[in-house]
């Protein structure tokens, strides 16, 4: 490609996989903070973004043996964590649709291709996102006989330094899992170092050819390796441990290589804005802010923005642009750095009036003139209307904090055959209670309830609920809500 290295933006990388495979822990290990222990039930409920600057990546890569090292051209890596629980398919999809590249985390002690790993592979294929596999929890191999070579050591070296029977155990586990994955998903996978060696091989071979001249049959042994490189369909497998940090330098190196060698063309910085609202949050002293993933373009203080709102499109002006200190999670409260402008790719907190009802998960538009304002108002709302449309004439009332979690909750409730009559986003208000109470009038008191995920309930809404006989169930974990629903319906039928 023709653009200069300076014009390369950071790739956006999303981390996917089955529940509890160690996605958050891997990021924590790089970040050396610990978001994971603060999560409800240990489950990641929202998407968070972390920016890892180039110098952090370079320090990690320097831990690798010399032949594996690589220079870093993009300004850094922007990594989006996603939850692995089955009810968050939509958050996984949203993460995947935002990203250039992904990490699929697989637990090396798993006995089979797990359900959400399979689903993640499907999502990544559908959105055409290349990915690497982090083969995590290597420290549990060989009945914990794994010896840590050193904190944050190269996993290639660490593996080679294990006792022969531990190495054997490792390869056997992976072979078994690999067989399952290939059988179910038809993927070709290989340890990353073998693939890198293979890519070097054709060069060596052509050197040999020059010195030895043409030799028909002598090429056969190399043929398989040639196929690996030419097919380019092999997925790089990187053993990791989020506990010891082994393999962290290896995976960061692989992400850098793929970014600058295979995907460079896609990573040219462009001026046209592409941005998504991840979260809408009230911050003390700042009011209601929106956390945005900026994939392309530059946001400036003073820009006119258009965002979908729960009661219609919101047009506002950017009053401030904040980024977290490097290496801190966007959703963890910390000191922010203020900017006049923020260039993609970056996670950024946007300060603007009127964001109270902005819809998380929606696109953010920058309008340059009144005509564009009108166009984007229409586009913004079209996106949201699809998700908000319910519903049965008889059923429960559902509320959630973001567009993504509402979609996830709706999908989950559909699976569980829970009928839904109405939906809304944000804090539960009196009006929501009134709407839910209609089920009583229609002779379905068992449906006169609000299932509220990850939102607050206003005080007057609670009083109104008591007065009208509407149950409000709130839960920080989606699947607990259906437990509430079932218990309540059973109770009503008694
Ligand atoms: P969800 O977000 O809920 O899908 O889970 P996750 O994939 O983010 O997993 P998380 O980071 O929450 O880790 C799950 C559990 O596995 C925690 O108890 C971690 O301490 C543990 N764990 C993660 N990585 C490793 C690892 O490499 N080795 C070992 N031994 N334990 C790990
Ligand atoms: Na977890
Ligand atoms: Mg997690």
Least reliable range by pLDDT among 106-120, 196-210, 405-419: 196-210
Residue 237 host element (H or E): strand 234-239
Beta bridge partners of 307: 314, 364
Q: What distance in Å separates the CA atoms of residue 159 and residue 119, rounded to the nearest whole number?
A: 29
Six-digit token string for 327:
């290496």
Six-digit token string for 234:
């092999």
Determine contact, residues 489/436, Cβ cutoff 8 Å: no
Residue 387 confidence class, pLDDT cut points 50, 70, 90: low
Q: Which of 19, 23, 25 to mutate to test the pocket of ligand 1 (most atoms within 8 A of CB)?
A: 25
In terms of Cα–Cα distance, which of 27, 6, 17 is closest to 251? 27
pLDDT digits (tens, 9 = 90+) for 112-166: 999 889 989 988 887 789 999 999 999 999 888 999 999 899 999 999 999 999 9
16 Cα–ligand 3 center, Å: 9
In terms of Cα–Cα distance, which of 275, 259, 287 is closest to 346? 275
| ipTM greater than 0.90 | yes
- How many Cα neighbours within 13 Å face the side chain of 291? 22
Mean pLDDT value of segment 348-367: 92
Mean pLDDT value of segment 313-330: 83
Q: Which residues line ligand 1 (CB under 6 A)?
A: 17, 19-25, 36, 42-44, 83-85, 136-137, 139-140, 241-243
Q: Which of 145, 242, 247, 476 to mutate to test the pocket of ligand 1 (most atoms within 8 A of CB)?
A: 242
Q: What distance in Å separates the CA atoms of residue 241 and residue 25, rounded to the nearest whole number?
A: 9
- The whole-number pLDDT of residue 223 equals 47
Distance of alpha carbon 342 from the chain centroid: 21
Determine contact, residues 421/444, Cβ cutoff 8 Å: no
Q: What distance in Å separates the CA atoms of residue 449 and residue 465, rounded to the nearest whole number?
A: 9
The DSSP 8-state label assigned to residue 35 in this structure reads -
**What predicted TM-score, i.e. pTM, was given to this entire model?**
0.79
- The whole-number pLDDT of residue 194 equals 94
To 10 degrees, the CA torsion angle through 66, 68, 70, 75?
A: -120
Q: How far apart are the first and last CA of the chain?
A: 70
Question: Which residue is closest in CA terms to ligand 1's atom 14?
Answer: 20
240 CA: nearest ligand 1 atom: 27
In order, the DSSP letters of 90-106 are HHHHHHHHH-SEEEEEE
pLDDT digits (tens, 9 = 90+) for 217-271: 444 444 454 554 444 679 999 999 999 999 999 999 999 999 998 888 889 999 9
Mean pLDDT value of segment 5-16: 93
In terms of Cα–Cα distance, which of 315, 338, 337, 317 is closest to 326? 337
Q: What distance in Å separates the CA atoms of residue 464 and residue 420, rounded to the nearest whole number?
A: 21
- The whole-number pLDDT of residue 402 equals 74
Please list, in sequence order, all residues whose beta carbon lies within 8 angstroms of the beta carbon of residue 439, skipping any fewer than 6 positions away: 394, 395, 396, 421, 445, 447, 448
Beta bridge partners of 135: 106, 239
412 Cα–ligand 3 center, Å: 19
- What Rg value do the Cα atoms of the chain yield, rounded? 25
Q: What distance in Å separates the CA atoms of residue 230 and residue 234, rounded to the nearest whole number?
A: 10
The DSSP 8-state label assigned to residue 262 in this structure reads I
19 CA: nearest ligand 1 atom: 4
pLDDT digits (tens, 9 = 90+) for 469-489: 999 998 766 667 778 888 888
């Amino acid at each position: 490609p023709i653009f200069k290295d300076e014009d390369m933006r950071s790739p956006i990388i999303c981390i996917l996989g089955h529940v509890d495979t160690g996605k958050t822990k891997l990021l924590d290990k790089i970040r050396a903070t610990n978001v994971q222990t603060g999560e409800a039930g240990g489950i990641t409920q929202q998407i968070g973004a972390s920016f890892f600057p180039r110098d952090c990546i370079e320090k990690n890569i320097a831990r690798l043996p010399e032949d594996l090292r690589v220079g870093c051209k993009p300004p850094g890596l922007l990594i989006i964590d996603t939850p692995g629980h089955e009810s968050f398919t939509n958050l996984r999809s949203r993460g995947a649709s935002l990203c250039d590249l992904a990490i699929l985390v697989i637990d090396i002690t798993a006995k089979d291709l797990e359900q959400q790993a399979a689903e993640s592979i499907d999502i990544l294929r559908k959105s055409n996102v290349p990915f690497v596999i982090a083969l995590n929890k290597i420290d549990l191999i060989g009945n914990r006989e794994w010896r840590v070579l050193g904190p944050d050591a190269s996993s290639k070296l660490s593996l080679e330094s294990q006792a022969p029977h531990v190495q054997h155990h490792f390869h056997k586990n992976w072979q078994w899992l690999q067989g399952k994955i290939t059988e179910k998903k038809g993927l070709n996978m290989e340890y990353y170092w073998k693939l890198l060696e293979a890519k070097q091989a054709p060069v060596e071979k052509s050197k040999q050819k020059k010195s030895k001249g043409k030799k028909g049959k002598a090429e056969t042994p190399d043929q398989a390796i040639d196929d690996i490189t030419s097919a380019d369909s092999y997925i790089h497998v990187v053993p990791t441990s989020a506990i010891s940090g082994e393999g962290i330098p290896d995976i960061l190196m692989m992400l850098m290589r793929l970014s600058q060698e295979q995907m460079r063309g896609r990573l040219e910085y462009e001026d046209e804005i592409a941005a998504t609202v991840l979260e809408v949050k009230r911050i003390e002293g700042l009011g209601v802010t929106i956390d945005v993933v900026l994939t392309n373009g530059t946001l400036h203080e003073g820009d006119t923005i258009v965002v979908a709102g729960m009661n219609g499109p919101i047009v506002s002006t950017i009053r401030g642009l904040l980024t977290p200190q490097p290496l801190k999670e966007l959703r963890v409260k910390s000191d922010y750095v203020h900017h006049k402008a923020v260039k993609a790719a970056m996670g950024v907190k946007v300060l603007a009036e009127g964001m109270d009802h902005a819809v998380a998960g929606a696109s953010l538009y920058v309008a340059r003139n009144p005509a564009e304002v009108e166009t984007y108002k229409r586009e913004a709302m079209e996106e949201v209307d699809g998700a908000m449309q319910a519903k049965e004439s008889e059923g429960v009332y559902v509320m959630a904090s973001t567009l993504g979690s509402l979609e996830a909750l709706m999908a989950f409730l559909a699976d569980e055959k829970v009928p839904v009559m109405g939906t809304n986003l944000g804090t539960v208000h009196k009006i929501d209670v009134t709407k839910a109470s209609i089920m009583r009038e229609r002779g379905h008191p068992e449906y006169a309830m609000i299932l509220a995920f990850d939102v607050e309930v206003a005080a007057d809404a609670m009083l109104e609920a008591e007065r009208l006989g509407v149950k409000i169930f709130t839960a920080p974990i989606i699947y607990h809500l259906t437990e509430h629903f079932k218990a309540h319906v059973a109770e009503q039928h008694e």
